[in-house]
Structure 1
Amino acid sequence: MKKMISYCGYRCDLCSAYRKNINSKADQRDASKGLSKYYGLNIPTEEIYCYGCLNQNKDLRIIDKSCSIRSCVLEQGLDNCLVCDDVCKKLEERFINYQKVKDSLSDTSKDDYQKFIKPYEMKKRYSK
């Protein structure tokens, strides 16, 4: 699958909730459990199916409909935050630090890292 970077810098193509990564109800359950475990997001299993925030069709599902970063990038006419000159508070709040996540949970497997942490480690992509 082609690399797909969201407005904030998350990797949609690696996200377990992204539609191209959902092949079964089991995938949806796994994503729902992982997002709850690592981020406290309680998204019902049947709602785990995202077209990505780059999608402009309002009828297609996006997991985080109220994302302030998405609206900011669209208002400024940017491709994503990576091209913005300012790393703002909204963006810093979304930075994922693998070591902090790993330290807070004793059972972080390599598989969980690939599914639930790596897609959201956008701080690595913001090395300006």
Structure 2
Amino acid sequence: MNKMIAYCGLDCEHCDAYLATMNDDQELRKKTAKLWAELNNAPILPEHINCQGCRVEGVKTVFCDSMCGVRQCAMKKGIDTCGDCSELERCSIVGAILENNPSALKNLKG
């Protein structure tokens, strides 16, 4: 599977944190930090918006690196993505992502 597909099925190449990192785009970092801070009710600053992809070597956002339950679960199980997990269809950890992002499920099953 494409290494730029995250454990949850989202495509890292379309993530604003990834795009801001790859393009060193400070305005996109500011915009993303503001949005993510509001969505997560957390103090996320532009300098936190640095990520080279969920499943590749390199820098990750603090959330993706240490707070993402999906990533932690997949790594603990030693699976490439949630698509390799027998519990995918009934998983409460990745469920909300898949509900809101139909393309993520397609990526996992593809």
- Give 1:89 deviation, angstroms: 0.8
Runs of 4+ residues over 4 Å off in structure 1: none
How does 1:71-110 map onto structure 2 within 5 Å? 71-87=72-88, 88-97=91-100
- Give 1:55 deviation, angstroms: 3.7
- Give 1:32 deviation, angstroms: 2.0
Between Structure 1 and Structure 2, the one with more helix by share is 2
Is 1:48 aligned with 2:49? Answer: yes
Deviations 1:70-124 (A, max 9, x none): 12211222110012221211111333526xxxxxxxxxxxxxxxxxxxxx85244
Structure 2: state its 5+ residue gaps: none
How does 1:55-74 map onto structure 2 within 5 Å? 55-56=56-57, 60-64=59-63, 65-74=66-75
Aligned residues: 102
Give RMSD over aligned pairs.
2.9
| CA distance in 1: counterparts of 2:40 and 2:93, whole angstroms | 18
Structure 1: state its 5+ residue gaps: 99-119
Q: Percent of aligned pairs with the same residue? A: 26
TM (normalized to structure 1)? Answer: 0.61
> Over alpha carbons, which structure has the higher Rg?
1
TM (normalized to structure 2)? Answer: 0.69
Asked if structure 1 preserves the Cα contact closer than 8 Å seen for 2:48 and 2:61, the reply is no
- Give 1:17 deviation, angstroms: 0.5
